[in-house]
Amino acid sequence: MTLTEQIDLPGTSIFLTDTPAVRNLTRPYIVGTAVATPPQVAQDDLWEFFRDHFAANPLAEKVWASSGIVSRHYAVDPRKEPTTEWTTGERMRRYLTEALPLGRQAAADALTSAGLTPADLGLFAVVSCTGYVTPGLDILLSHELGMPANMRRVIIGHMGCHAAVPGLGTVSEYVAVHGKPALLLCVELSSLHAQPKSPTLHAGNPTIEDFEQIVAHSLFADGAAAVVVAPDQQPASAVASQLEIVDVMASTDSSVSDYMGWLVTDHGFRMRLSPQVPEVLERHVTDLVTTLLSTHGHTIDDVDGWAIHPGGARILRAVADQLQLSEEATAPSYDILREYGNCSSATVLIILQRLLRTREIRPGKVVVALGFGPGLTLFAALLKAH
């Protein structure tokens, strides 16, 4: 007889039949992490180029000086190549050239840190919002790395900076149901989308759109990050400290969906980024985090680590103020902002790796990962130490 019952999986409640896979649901754990980056560039050196690009606008200089960033990683350096004038087609061709080696390194290193091989995987999920290519990175990298031909693959595209968090939900649900390891890879190349000079800015009549570009160009950077998620039967990993992915939740305020966007133009992707984004996050972040924690019997006092996406210094301050977090709690996010800038979807995973390598997450305590992106959407993941 087939019995249908409701099963609670990370991030969702679904109805499944009483199959062997469902009867033997496993807990999904992060067992490996890795980060790969292109060459490092000093923020001050980039400003030397963008000073002229932004017509030496005093506000632009102030934005760059207050970014909280000391260095970033750029696969394509506008000081060396005329990237601001490239067509979208030229940028997409370069995306493939740069994304493959970065993705390959992050994926391979994450598997090594987990003590697993590509043949062990059941799912490969790739996250990116900064480039498109078909066949996709999921197919190209799975072939290069020797992943099984019958392995499941999925691309999570165009979700922006928060995409790693629903990515964690996707791979954890697969692991919980199928009992096989999964690999999540985020690859972002924001440097490909340096925009042409603005006629209005150079004419001395800057627009709101001009200031959005100033902020975006002061923040975004390149990088890849990967995590391996495996069922609880896998051996413990010293690197990952065995964090269970307990749940993923989201909150979307569609009334301000125009506050953040990633617009495809003839000259790459153009960021739309309202200065009011921090105010929206202030309205929603406390409810999202407290709901996520209380659903699983926790409070903020149980949180031993925070991986908060640094969309910018203002966003970090707004979130920290609303959640009443200490400087120590937000230090990993500020550290990654200072050293890497905003690497879009990869950033949360980069922070998570730093957190796992520098902080003790006590047994029974939790980590909260937060990402923010288009929608306007907040995503949160609850990870628990065992």
Q: Please indicate, yes or no, if residue 170 is contained in any of the structural domains.
A: no
Q: For residue 77, give the nearest of 224, 235, 189, 243 by alpha carbon.
A: 189
What is the structure's pLDDT at 239? 42
CA 363 to the chain's CA centroid:
26
What is the structure's pLDDT at 235? 52
Q: Please indicate, yes or no, if residue 30 is contained in any of the structural domains.
A: no
Given a contact cutoff of 8 angstroms between Cβ atoms, the answer to whether 341 and 41 are in contact is no
**Interatomic CA distance for residues 206 and 311, integer angstroms:** 23
Q: Please indicate, yes or no, if residue 174 is contained in any of the structural domains.
A: no
Q: Please indicate, yes or no, if residue 62 is contained in any of the structural domains.
A: no
What is the structure's pLDDT at 237? 46
Q: Please indicate, yes or no, if residue 357 is contained in any of the structural domains.
A: yes
Q: For residue 147, give the nearest of 105, 198, 182 by alpha carbon.
A: 182
What is the structure's pLDDT at 340? 98
Report, as residue numbers or ranges, the catalytic residues: 161
Q: Please indicate, yes or no, if residue 124 is contained in any of the structural domains.
A: no
Find the domain containing 278 and state its range. 243-385
Q: What is the CATH number of the domain that holds 289?
A: 3.40.47.10
Q: For residue 189, give the nearest of 70, 99, 81, 86 by alpha carbon.
A: 99
Q: Please indicate, yes or no, if residue 340 is contained in any of the structural domains.
A: yes
pLDDT in tens, the chain (386 residues): 233 333 344 444 333 333 444 446 789 999 999 999 999 999 999 999 999 999 999 999 999 999 999 999 999 999 999 999 999 999 999 999 999 999 999 999 999 999 999 999 999 999 999 999 999 999 999 999 999 999 999 999 999 999 999 999 999 999 999 999 999 999 999 999 999 999 998 888 889 999 999 999 999 999 999 999 999 855 544 444 589 999 999 999 999 999 999 899 999 999 998 899 999 999 999 999 999 999 999 999 999 999 999 999 999 999 999 999 999 999 999 999 999 999 999 999 999 999 999 998 999 999 999 999 999 999 999 999 98
Q: How many domains does the chain have?
A: 1
Given a contact cutoff of 8 angstroms between Cβ atoms, the answer to whether 7 and 15 are in contact is yes
Q: Please indicate, yes or no, if residue 289 is contained in any of the structural domains.
A: yes
What is the structure's pLDDT at 242? 80
